[in-house]
């Protein structure tokens, strides 16, 4: 690779869904991905949900689709990443990416690069959620409770 950033080695990472939470009028699934040497930390989870709240505010989402979405907290090697995703326009996903340096769990700030979307581990959950949304909501009989109960636990 001439002059570029070396590609990381891939190894599956554990992911668990902490269930569904009501945040600012949205029903969201809450996922946590654990990077190497990381363990779930409820203080960081709570801080992430507080940071997600203003992004999910129903009044800020005029094109929201049934106020459904998901949140991914990735406890990474060098930082903690927060993806706040909500379904809009009936078939599109709006994503906001925030970051907190390790050791600063209450400082989730928007990532300066607006084009940055997700890493390969986070994208695994996004793909799962895409398929779940198609199968449960984009049908002749949309079923919000079925969408919200379709969760991913295991590895990505």
Backbone angles phi, psi at 151, to 5 degrees: -125, 160
Q: Each residue of 80-122: pLDDT tens digit?
A: 999 999 999 999 999 999 999 987 778 999 999 989 999 999 9
Residue 3 lies in a domain: no
Burial class of residue 73 (count of CB atoms within 10 Å of its CB; 0-12, 13-18, 19+): buried
Give the per-residue pLDDT at 59: 47
Residue 69 resides in a domain: yes
Q: What does the alpha-carbon distance between residue 45 and residue 90 come to, in Å, rounded to a whole number?
A: 28
- Which helix (H) or strand (E) is 127 found in, with range? helix 120-136
What six digits make up the tokens of 99? 């970051």
Residue pair 96/109 in contact by the 8 Å Cβ criterion: no
| pTM confidence score | 0.93
Token pair belonging to 89: 């326009």
Bridge pairing between strands 109-110 and 64-75: unpaired
Q: Report, in angstroms and rounded to the nearest whole number, the Rg of the chain calculated over CA atoms.
A: 16
- Residue 9 maps to a domain: no
144 within a domain of the structure (yes/no):
yes
Range of the domain at 72: 14-155
pLDDT digits (tens, 9 = 90+) for 33-92: 999 999 999 999 999 999 999 999 854 556 656 799 999 999 999 899 999 999 999 999
In a domain, 141, yes or no: yes
Number of domains in the chain: 1
Query: Could you give the C-alpha distances from 77 to 31, 34, 80, 100, in angstroms and in order?
Result: 17, 9, 8, 12
Q: Is residue 1 situated within a structural domain?
A: no
Q: How many other CB atoms sit within 10 Å of the CB of residue 18?
A: 17
């Amino acid at each position: 690779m001439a002059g570029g950033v070396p590609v990381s080695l891939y190894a599956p990472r554990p992911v668990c869904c902490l269930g569904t939470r009501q945040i600012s009028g949205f029903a969201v699934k809450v996922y946590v991905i654990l990077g190497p040497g990381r363990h779930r930390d409820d203080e960081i989870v709570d801080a992430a949900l507080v940071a997600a709240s203003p992004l999910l505010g129903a009044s800020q989402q005029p094109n929201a689709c049934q106020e459904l979405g998901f949140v991914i907290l990735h406890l990474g090697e060098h930082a903690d990443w927060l993806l706040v995703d909500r379904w809009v326009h009936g078939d599109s996903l709006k994503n906001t990416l925030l970051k907190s340096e390790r050791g600063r769990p209450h400082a989730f700030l928007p990532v300066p690069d607006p084009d940055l979307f997700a890493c390969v581990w986070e994208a695994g959950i996004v793909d799962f959620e895409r398929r779940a949304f198609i199968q449960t909501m984009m049908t002749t009989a949309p079923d919000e409770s079925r969408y919200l109960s379709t969760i991913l636990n295991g590895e990505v």
